[in-house]
């Protein structure tokens, strides 16, 4: 009978991908459902479900917003961060691999994507225009979380002899908590985070992305009647080949590509939205009125104001990933000697993601009016309908944007997963390369088969990353505050100044194509050593003159200043000897040189400005 039904067309035969999906579902659904029920546990208040993971992330953002004195909202911080993005405070000889802008683009490539195109449309359909305001508010609060993550990512990163970097929550959980006398807790949280990262970014960063991009490409090329229908694996192969060329080149290649792709896809999407918004510019005040009224009234929405708020906050949390920890991994690779510089750069990521791009999508959907009939249209198609009200063929550039969003996310998430694997396997390059190969294969699998259970598992693991990460941020909050506020204070006082133009990194380039010579490094390390000594002396003088700072803290500051001064003198002496012994033409030391070459980062090694727990807490109190 089943055979006759298939022949009659009453019961179509399952495709191989459906069979695989069904087999995985049967085997893993009980575990995945249990995990998801814990991670996304949402008790009800009235008719509204409140996901605790959203509150966990929101609480972290509010805490660091207040604790860091609302840095992300200060115009002076914005002006300073723009100079940092341009590379005006970092040298091409500084330890690290990419520029601040490349790290910014890498992280944005992972967060700006379908959540901005499809997710906002869904949020408006479910919660009305008012959900947009809560997305914006969550984005502004999330800026402080990204600031904290990126600062610690650089603070506790490890730089190998070949100049490659390893950083992220794994390292500040392990090393930062060890400084505070909690080595076992730090190690447990670091391993927990790394395992969650491997599984979280692998599904969310490649399988889901390739699946959604393939679905959109099939739709635009004729759907079931098109050539690509049933051949989604071909799309996956193309993605895997192109992504492989970039991914196997490491963070420098990823940063170089994302720094080009992200601005292009953002501008492309901006132009499409403006085609809807500009002809209807007179409707913008009314649209914002709908947004504000809906945010605080919730008319017609289940759960009223609370329901609208949760819809918006949840969408923002899923979109900008503030508090998840990925920003710390992206920015730990930047060429810089001062951890706070990346905090001021990373804070822009939730702003671009949840404030700018999400607001563009929201205005496009609201002004077009398509959200009123959005019950039967979901995600990307709702946004596509809004764009088509201006230009009928905008589904084509939208598909290009979706493909670019998916591709760029694959690149950045591959780096995060690789670094997590590297941490778990003691920095093994073989383990990292093996992971990259598996990651590329799964891009093809994800395009051909939805594998819903695997993707649901990855979503749960992705947000599980925020548990150990935020715990670590709370433990190390004092370190973050000292770095951020101390950096701003020293810049304002002129203790930290811009570097010479010929030494600075750019937006897209870390510096000259060739590696710096021994003489160039010697010069850079000498300058850096005396800069570090000046900063340490400034801290010591402030501590000495401030009666509210304990004698113990003052003594530590003075000792740090003395150590930094000694380091500067030692570095200058070594540099002088290097210049004497180096070849005048090449600037390189001969093999038989009697002096050891200096390495990037020597002058600012962590032993000069290490923080202990009491130091951090006391410094935080006096800076409050």
Residue 305 and residue 295 in contact, taking contact as beta carbons nearer than 8 Å? yes
Cα separation values, 364 from 273, 275, 368, 489, Å:
6, 9, 6, 41
Predicted pLDDT at 98: 92
Q: Which of 176, 423, 131, 426 is nearest to 291 (CA)?
A: 131
pLDDT over 70 (residue 598): yes
Tell me how far apart the alpha carbons of residues 456 and 459 are, in angstroms, rounded to a whole number.
Answer: 5
Q: Which of 318, 284, 348, 7 is nearest to 147 (CA)?
A: 348
> If you average pLDDT over every residue of the chain, what do you get?
85
Q: pLDDT tens digits, residue range 180-229?
A: 999 999 999 999 999 999 999 988 888 888 888 888 888 888 877 878 77
Tell me how far apart the alpha carbons of residues 562 and 580 are, in angstroms, rounded to a whole number.
Answer: 27
Predicted pLDDT at 16: 60
Tell me how far apart the alpha carbons of residues 454 and 49 are, in angstroms, rounded to a whole number.
Answer: 24
Residue 524 neighbours by CB under 8 Å, 6+ apart = 91, 93, 94, 503, 516, 600
Q: Is 43 exposed, middle or buried (0-12, 13-18, 19+ CB in 10 A)?
A: exposed
Residue 171 and residue 158 in contact, taking contact as beta carbons nearer than 8 Å? yes
pLDDT over 80 (residue 145): yes
- Chain centroid to CA 426: how far? 23
Predicted pLDDT at 375: 52
∠ Cα 474 42 139 (to 5°): 50
Reported as a pLDDT band with limits 50, 70 and 90, residue 18 is: low
**Mean pLDDT of all residues in 108-136:** 83
Element (H, E) at 387: helix 379-388
Tokens of 226: 């098109």
**Secondary structure of 206-241 in the HEC alphabet?**
HHHHHHHHHHHHHHHCCHHHCCCCCCHHHHHHHHHH
Q: pLDDT tens digits, residue range 441-494?
A: 989 888 887 667 777 888 889 899 999 999 999 999 999 999 999 999 999 999
Q: pLDDT tens digits, residue range 254-271?
A: 998 999 998 998 899 899
Predicted pLDDT at 170: 96
Q: Which of 430, 456, 416, 369 is nearest to 195 (CA)?
A: 416
Predicted pLDDT at 614: 43
The answer to whether the Cα torsion of 374, 375, 376, 379 is positive or negative is positive
Decide which of 572 and 208 is more confident: 572
224-235 as b/e, with b when 16 or more CB fall inside 10 Å? eeeebeeebbbb
Residue 358 and residue 118 in contact, taking contact as beta carbons nearer than 8 Å? no
pLDDT over 60 (residue 621): no
∠ Cα 151 157 162 (to 5°): 135
Q: Would you tell me how many other CB atoms lie within 10 Å of the CB of residue 24?
A: 17
pLDDT over 50 (residue 624): no
Lowest mean pLDDT of 53-57, 342-346, 383-387, 582-586, name the range.
383-387
Tell me how far apart the alpha carbons of residues 581 and 272 are, in angstroms, rounded to a whole number.
Answer: 60
**Mean pLDDT of all residues in 579-589:** 91
Tell me how far apart the alpha carbons of residues 98 and 508 are, in angstroms, rounded to a whole number.
Answer: 9
Q: Would you tell me how many other CB atoms lie within 10 Å of the CB of residue 2?
A: 9
Q: Which of 495, 306, 404, 459 is nearest to 105 (CA)?
A: 404
pLDDT over 60 (residue 72): yes
**328 φ, ψ (degrees, to nearest 5):** -65, -35
Predicted pLDDT at 508: 83
**Mean pLDDT of all residues in 496-514:** 85
Q: Which of 388, 291, 334 is nearest to 153 (CA)?
A: 334
Helices (H), 465-589: 466-475, 477-493, 518-545, 551-581
Question: Whole-prediction pTM value?
Answer: 0.88
Residue 413 and residue 324 in contact, taking contact as beta carbons nearer than 8 Å? no
Element (H, E) at 361: helix 358-368
Residue 338 and residue 487 in contact, taking contact as beta carbons nearer than 8 Å? yes
Residues in the chain: 624
pLDDT over 60 (residue 6): no
pLDDT over 70 (residue 32): yes
Q: Sort residue 387 into left (φ over 0), alpha (ψ -120 to 50) or beta.
A: alpha
Predicted pLDDT at 130: 87
Q: pLDDT tens digits, residue range 269-286?
A: 899 999 999 999 999 999
pLDDT over 70 (residue 10): no
């Amino acid at each position: 009978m089943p055979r006759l039904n298939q022949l009659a067309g009453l019961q179509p035969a399952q495709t191989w991908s459906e069979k695989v999906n069904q087999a995985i579902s049967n085997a893993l659904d009980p575990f995945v459902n249990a995990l998801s029920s814990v991670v996304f546990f949402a008790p009800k208040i009235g008719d509204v479900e409140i996901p605790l993971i959203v509150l966990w992330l929101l609480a972290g953002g509010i805490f660091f917003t207040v604790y860091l004195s609302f840095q992300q909202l200060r115009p002076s911080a914005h002006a300073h961060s723009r100079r940092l993005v341009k590379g005006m405070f970092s040298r091409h000889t500084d330890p690290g691999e990419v520029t601040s802008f490349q790290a910014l683009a890498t992280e944005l490539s992972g967060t700006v994507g379908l959540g901005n195109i499809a997710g906002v449309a869904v949020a408006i359909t479910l919660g009305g225009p008012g959900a947009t305001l809560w997305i914006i508010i969550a984005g502004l609060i999330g800026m402080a979380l990204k600031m904290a993550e990126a600062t610690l990512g650089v603070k506790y990163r490890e730089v190998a002899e070949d100049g490659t970097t390893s950083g992220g929550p794994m390292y500040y959980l392990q090393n930062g908590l060890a400084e505070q006398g909690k080595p076992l807790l730090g190690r447990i949280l670091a391993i927990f985070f790394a395992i969650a990262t491997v599984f979280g970014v692998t599904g969310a960063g490649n399988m889901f992305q390739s699946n959604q991009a393939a679905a959109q490409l099939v739709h635009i090329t004729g759907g079931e009647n098109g050539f690509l229908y049933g051949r989604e694996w071909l799309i996956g192969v193309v993605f895997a080949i192109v992504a492989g060329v970039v991914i196997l080149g490491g963070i420098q290649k990823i940063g170089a590509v994302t720094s080009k792709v992200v601005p292009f896809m953002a501008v492309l999407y901006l132009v499409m939205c403006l085609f809807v918004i500009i002809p209807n510019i007179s409707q913008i005040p009314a649209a914002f009125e709908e947004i504000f009224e809906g945010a605080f009234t919730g008319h017609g929405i289940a759960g009223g104001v609370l329901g609208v708020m949760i819809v918006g906050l949840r969408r923002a949390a899923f979109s900008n990933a503030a508090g998840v920890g990925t920003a710390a991994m992206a920015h730990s690779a930047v060429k810089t000697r001062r951890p706070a510089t990346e905090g001021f750069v990373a804070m822009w990521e939730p702003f671009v993601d949840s404030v700018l791009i999400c607001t563009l999508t929201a205005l496009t959907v609201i002004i077009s009016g398509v959200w009123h009939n959005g019950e039967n249209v979901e995600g990307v198609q709702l946004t596509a309908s809004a764009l088509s009200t201006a230009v009928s063929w905008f589904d084509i550039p939208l598909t290009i944007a979706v493909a670019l969003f998916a591709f760029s996310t694959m690149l950045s998430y591959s780096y995060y997963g690789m670094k997590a694997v590297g941490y778990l396997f003691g920095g093994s390059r073989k383990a990292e390369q093996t992971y990259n190969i598996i990651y590329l294969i799964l891009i093809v699998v994800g395009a051909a088969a939805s594998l819903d259970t695997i993707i649901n598992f990855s979503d749960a693991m992705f947000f599980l990353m925020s548990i150990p990460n935020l715990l670590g941020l709370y433990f190390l909050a004092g370190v973050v505050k000292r770095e951020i506020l101390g950096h701003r204070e020293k810049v304002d006082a002129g203790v930290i100044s811009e570097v010479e133009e010929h030494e600075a990194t750019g937006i897209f380039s870390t510096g000259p194509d060739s590696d710096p010579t021994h003489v160039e490094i010697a010069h850079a390390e000498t300058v850096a050593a005396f800069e570090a000594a000046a900063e340490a002396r400034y801290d010591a003088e402030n501590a000495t003159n401030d009666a509210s700072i304990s004698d113990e803290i003052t003594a530590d500051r003075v000792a740090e200043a003395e150590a930094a001064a000694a380091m500067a003198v030692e570095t200058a002496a070594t540099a002088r000897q290097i210049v004497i012994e180096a070849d005048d033409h090449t600037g390189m030391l001969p093999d038989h040189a009697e002096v050891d070459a200096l390495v990037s980062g020597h002058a600012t090694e962590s032993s000069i400005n290490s923080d202990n727990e009491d130091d951090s807490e006391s410094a935080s109190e006096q800076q409050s």
